[in-house]
Amino acid sequence: MAQYIIKGGKRAEGEVTISGSKNAALPIIAASILNAGKTTLYNVPNIHDTQMMFEILKKLGGKVTKKNNKIIIETNQINKYEIPEDLMRQMRSSVILAGALLGKRRTATFSYPGGCDIGTRPIDLHLKAFEKLGINIEQNYGKIACSCDKIIGKKIDLDFPSVGATENAILASCMAEGKTIITNAAREPEIVDLQNFLNKMGAKIKGAGANTIEIEGVKTLKDVSYNIMPDRIETGTFLCIAAATNGNMILKDVDTEHITPIIHKLEETGCKLNIEKRKIEIQTPKKLKAIDIKTMPYPGFPTDMQSIFVSMLTIAKGTSVVVENIFENRYKFTRRTSKNGSKNKYRRKNSNNKRCTKAIWHKCKSNRPKRGSSFSISRNYGKRNNNN
Ligand code: UD1
């Protein structure tokens, strides 16, 4: 679909079933390379990024079949080890294929994924983890060629709990000789989902969800079927849409344990949440209260929810203070507020730390996303407000 036309002025209400998680699906699709066999996945979200990942797998020699609600991936014929540059540039997360290719085939060539609109997004931590595992890295005109005869388990201490670097280190080491220990690992639920998937395939990994992950290398992995976890960012987005439009909503197939910081912040705005293990109901007040937010690595408040909360908070009573600590460029969406006919009053302060930017939002309206989401929220509110 090329465009969405949003006619605002309505409460967003009803029941929604949450899709599988994009950020869990991508590394799991990459991990299907490791068994050189058959992987059956359920609950894969049908979105551009997962389709791109399938395209890359096919280009490497893999086979992907869609049957009803399941995806079957066959990786026994994979015979190419270079991730095509054009696809790599389109989707930064394709760098995760490097760990899987190295883990199984001991060779991977890829290019720098480049920066994107939320920040520079370097991959130095991924490369450092590979080097620790004894992998040779040669860089030539933006191409990175990684190879080794064998991978030997080592201690990898990450300078920052990077989600992608943690995943790449797990993928590269799960068929290594001996034990790998990753310290200062990212603790995101998607890493736990990757561990669960790989262990079901026959890997020996423990500790995901905590700071230290231990991987005992195995020689072979088997065919596997797996159900991808629910998307916590989609869950949070629907809750914010309800809150911004004074709607009541029931969300099903969620994992409420993954969204604790989102729930706490929504409760601070005055929303009431009725929480069960796989279901959540939100009742929203007529007027939201302003709140303060600082994005942090999990289990802190997720950076992926920042712009969505900002859009919602522009209609809250009072001033909200939002601090982005993960990506230095994640306030870009505020620049186009005039197109939305709104007055966005916000002040921005840069701290010494490049990752930390502080913005103070006054009572106002604004637009644009975590891509479309926060835009839709402000647009819907805008129309509602105009009608009032
Ligand atoms: C993943 C998520 C993304 C989310 C982010 C943070 C996927 C597909 N994407 O992205 O939606 O916003 O986690 O929760 O799962 N960094 C370095 N060097 C590196 C790697 C990262 O300096 O080698 C920095 C980044 O620039 C950023 C911070 O570390 O400032 C966090 O990045 P990281 O956790 O790696 O995010 P991604 O895995 O890219």
pLDDT tens, per residue, the chain with 388 residues: 578 888 878 899 999 999 999 999 999 999 999 999 999 999 999 999 999 999 999 999 999 999 988 999 999 999 999 999 888 888 888 999 999 999 999 999 999 875 566 666 789 999 999 999 999 999 998 899 999 999 999 999 999 999 999 999 999 999 999 999 999 999 999 999 999 999 999 999 999 999 999 999 999 999 999 999 999 999 999 999 999 999 999 999 999 999 999 999 999 999 999 999 899 999 999 999 999 999 999 999 999 999 999 989 988 999 899 989 998 777 777 765 434 444 445 555 554 444 445 566 544 343 333 444 554 565 455 443 333 2
Q: Which residues contact 284 (CB under 8 A, 6 or more apart)?
A: 242, 243, 245, 246, 247, 248, 270, 271, 272
Q: Measuring from atom 2 of ligand 1, which residue has the nearest CA?
A: 23
Atom of ligand 1 nearest to the CA of 302: 14
8 domain residue, yes or no: no
342 domain residue, yes or no: yes
Same domain, residue pair 64 and 190: yes
Same domain, residue pair 167 and 299: no
Q: How many structural domains is the chain composed of?
A: 2
Same domain, residue pair 187 and 247: no
Among the candidates 192, 210, 227, a domain finishes at 227
Query: Is residue 116 flagged as an active site residue?
Result: yes
373 domain residue, yes or no: yes
Distances (CA, A) of 105 to 26, 125, 149: 19, 21, 9
pLDDT given for residue 363 in this prediction:
41
128 lines ligand 1 (CB under 6 A): no
Count of CB atoms within 10 A of residue 321's CB? 17
pLDDT given for residue 328 in this prediction:
76
Same domain, residue pair 345 and 364: yes
Q: Measuring from atom 8 of ligand 1, which residue has the nearest CA?
A: 23
Supply the Cα-derived Rg of the chain in whole angstroms: 22
Same domain, residue pair 74 and 131: yes
Same domain, residue pair 181 and 243: no
Among the candidates 227, 262, 292, a domain finishes at 227
pLDDT given for residue 62 in this prediction:
97
Q: Which residues span the domain enclosing 289? A: 14-18+230-387
Same domain, residue pair 196 and 271: no
Same domain, residue pair 187 and 141: yes
Strand partners, 73: 39, 64
124 lines ligand 1 (CB under 6 A): yes
pLDDT digits (tens, 9 = 90+) for 179-213: 999 999 999 999 999 999 999 999 999 999 999 99
Q: Measuring from atom 17 of ligand 1, which residue has the nearest CA?
A: 122
26 lines ligand 1 (CB under 6 A): yes
Count of CB atoms within 10 A of residue 239's CB? 27
Looking up residue 98, the CATH number of its domain turns out to be: 3.65.10.10
1 domain residue, yes or no: no
Same domain, residue pair 244 and 218: no
Measured in Å, residue 297 CA sits from the centre of ligand 1 at 9
pLDDT given for residue 61 in this prediction:
97
Contact between residue 204 and residue 216 where contact means Cβ atoms under 8 Å apart: yes
Among the candidates 227, 249, 272, a domain finishes at 227
Measured in Å, residue 249 CA sits from the centre of ligand 1 at 31
Continuous H helices in 255-319: 260-268, 306-313
Measured in Å, residue 135 CA sits from the centre of ligand 1 at 22
4 domain residue, yes or no: no
9 domain residue, yes or no: no
Same domain, residue pair 144 and 271: no
Using DSSP, state whether 356 is helix, strand or coil. coil
Work out the angle between the directed axes of helices 22-31 and 189-201 (0-180°, nearest 10): 30
pLDDT given for residue 26 in this prediction:
97
**CA-closest candidate to residue 369, choices 243, 280, 241, 273:** 241
Same domain, residue pair 68 and 154: yes
Continuous H helices in the chain: 22-31, 48-59, 85-90, 96-105, 124-132, 163-173, 189-201, 232-244, 260-268, 306-313, 372-387
2 domain residue, yes or no: no
Same domain, residue pair 240 and 219: no
